[in-house]
Amino acid sequence: MLDKLAEVEKRYAQLESLLSDPGLPGKQREYSKIAKERADLEELVTCYREWKKTEQEIQANRELLNEKDEAIRELAKEELALLRERKEQLEARLKVLLLPKDPNDSKNVIFEIRAGTGGEEAALFAANLSRMYTRYAEAKGWRVEVMSSNPTGIGGLKEIILLVEGKGAYSRLKFEGGVHRVQRIPVTEGSGRIHTSTVTVAVLPEADEVEVQIDPKDLKVDVCRSSGPGGQSVNTTDSAVRMTHLPTGLVVSCQDEKSQHKNRAKALKILRARLLEKKQEEQRSEIAATRKLMVGSGDRSERIRTYNFPQGRVTDHRINFTLYKLDRVMEGELNELLDALTTHYQAEALQAG
């Protein structure tokens, strides 16, 4: 591990030297590539340098144990205990930082939320989840844009697709994909019975044009007038877009914007993300044929979490983690849940390695 860290630090120094070249900022593509690589290594190198500094302080305090003055020896013993604890913490952090990076971690997120079983109640909970994730993203300083939505008459959502833009958005939200189950008394229920409904969430990394190239000849684009809840027309121009990718059969519809051009751009962005997900899913299936599928693949058929309103609890079934803070979670306070998931999957990856 130490040899690898020394190599990383050496590479980091090379990158810093390259960035100080006065001629580099004029070469935008090369500059961006070097700056990104340096940024990716910064946390690891900072942690490694802290570890080296701690190791030097341990050696210095060991020498003080040979001092004649008993007070100095006692101080050195106390300091050594603290330094060894700090060294262990840094080594644990370094092991995590050395784990293979998910290439999607730095990407923005296409977040797809769809009402599942439960009719209108499922649609209402889909709206609740959309608000929960939006509030969380805004608290992180991320930008949220509605790409497409299909509202119901009483404030629910049959489907909503969000673009979440911000540093580390995918790495933080990637474990949210799956079936979310809600247990509560619906507002539409007169007898006070608790209903169980589901909402499916898909978390897709935003794909850029280099990763997924779409030939315009492979697209069939239909335009029509946008419609609102109940089917009424909300636009007098043909601005709604229905885009079909002929080779795969994938279909994307967008009607939120009044401009056909904007709806077309949004539809293309969603389609590109879905094609990247399809490509990555095929790669994962090939890997799974020879070894266990990697953790965090986001299987949408898996029931991952239950939100129980009568008991005020939320349970993540993958890690058997329960919080009795459902009201705070629904307000977007997701850090405790997401931290527990991240820690669990990092521990699994370390064990597998």
Chunked in runs of 10, what are the mean pLDDT values of the chain (353 residues)? 84 86 75 82 89 92 88 90 91 81 83 90 94 96 90 89 90 92 82 87 78 77 67 56 85 80 85 82 58 37 86 94 95 94 83 68
Q: What is the pLDDT of residue 334?
A: 95
- Cα distances from 287 to residues 227, 284, 299, in angstroms, run 43, 5, 15
Q: What is the pLDDT of residue 28?
A: 74
**Cα 12 to Cα 104: distance, rounded to the nearest angstrom:** 22
What CATH architecture applies to the domain 216-288?
A: 2-Layer Sandwich (3.30)
Contacts of 62 (CB under 8 A, 6+ apart): 76, 80
Domain map of the chain by residue range?
A: 2-97, 109-210+293-352, 216-288
Spell out the CATH class of 109-210+293-352.
Answer: alpha beta
Can you give the chain as a three-state secondary structure string?
A: CHHHHHHHHHHHHHHHHHHCCCCHHHCHHHHHHHHHHHHHHHHHHHHHHHHHHHHHHHHHHHHHCCCCCHHHHHHHHHHHHHHHHHHHHHHHHHHHHCCCCCCCCCCCEEEEEEECCCHHHHHHHHHHHHHHHHHHHHHCCCEEEEEEEEECCCCCEEEEEEEEECCCHHHHHHHHCEEEEEEECCCCCCCCCCEEEEEEEEEEECCCCCCCCCCHHHEEEEEECCECHHHCECCCCCCEEEEEECCCCEEEEECCCCCHHHHHHHHHHHHHHHHHHHHHHHHHHHHHCCCCCCCCCCCCCCEEEEEECCCCEEEECCCCEEECCHHHHHCCCCHHHHHHHHHHHHHHHHHHC
Question: What is the per-residue burial (b if ≥16 Cβ within 10 Å, else e) of 310-349?
Answer: eeebbbbebbebebeebeebbebbbeebbebbbebbeeeb
Q: What is the pLDDT of residue 302?
A: 63
Asked if 332 contacts 133 with a C-beta cutoff of 8 angstroms, the reply is: yes
